[in-house]
Amino acid sequence: MSRKKLSAGFFALVLACSGAYALPLVGAQDEPQSQPVAARLDSNSLARQLTNSDPLKRQHAAEELARLAATEQRRLVEGYRLQEKNERVRVALDWALYRMGKREVLYSLVRALDSSRSDQAQVYLSELEGPDALYVFLPRANGNTQIKLLQILAYLGNAETLERIKPFAASLDPKIAEAARQAERDINERLNAPSNAPARSRQRVTGASDEEKSDDAPPQR
C-alpha cells in the first residue's frame, strides 16, 4: 500500500462521507439550566427517538444529542446505552455520552477502532478539540488500532504530536511506520500552511456497513 493510499481512505471518509452537517468540536459543556429553552425541548424530542424501532433513527438521534451536548439527557442516554443491541447505535450513544461529559467512554470509542464500526469511531474521534486525549492509547493499542489512531492524529495533531509519534515511524511493522510517517507529513504540511488557509470541514458517518445490516432493520442510505 502506498503512503498516499494509507491516509486517503480516512480523510476521504472524514471530508466526503454523507451527512448534512459537521459535528462541533468537543469542549467545555454548558450546564443544563444554561441551555436555551428551544435546545432543551429539542433534546427531549431527540431522546424520545432513542426508542424508535429503526436503528438509523436511533443513531441519528444519538448523534444529534452529541451535537447539542445535551447534558440534561445524560442519565436517560446511559440507560438506553445499557439496553441497546445495535452496535452502531451503541457507538453513537458512547459519543453522545462523551460529549455530555462522561470522559471514560473514550476507551469504548477507541476500542471500536478495531471493529467493523471503525469508520464511525474515526469520524467521531476526529471531532475531539485536540489530540491530547488520544496519546495515552497509542503505545498500548494493538497494531491495527495504532494505525487508526495515527490517522486521526494526522488530522488533529500539532507540534507536540510530532514528538509523540516519532517512535512509531521506526516501527518494525511497515504499516505502522508508514502511518506514522504519513502523519508527520500531514501535520507538518498543516503547520506550515498559510494562516488564512481554509479550515477543513468535518462530517459525520451515517448508515451501517454491509457487515452490520442484519443487526436490526435494514438501514437505508
List per-residue pLDDT tens for the chain, 221 residues long: 444 444 445 444 444 443 333 333 333 344 444 555 656 668 999 999 999 999 999 999 999 999 999 999 999 999 999 999 999 999 999 999 999 999 999 999 999 999 999 999 999 999 999 999 999 999 999 999 999 999 999 999 999 999 999 999 999 999 999 999 999 999 999 999 887 555 554 444 333 444 444 444 433 43
| CA 81/CA 215 separation, integer angstroms | 16
| CA 41/CA 47 separation, integer angstroms | 10
Structure-block grid coordinates of residue 45: 424530542
Of the candidates 121, 141, 130, the one whose C-alpha atom is nearest the C-alpha of residue 205 is: 121
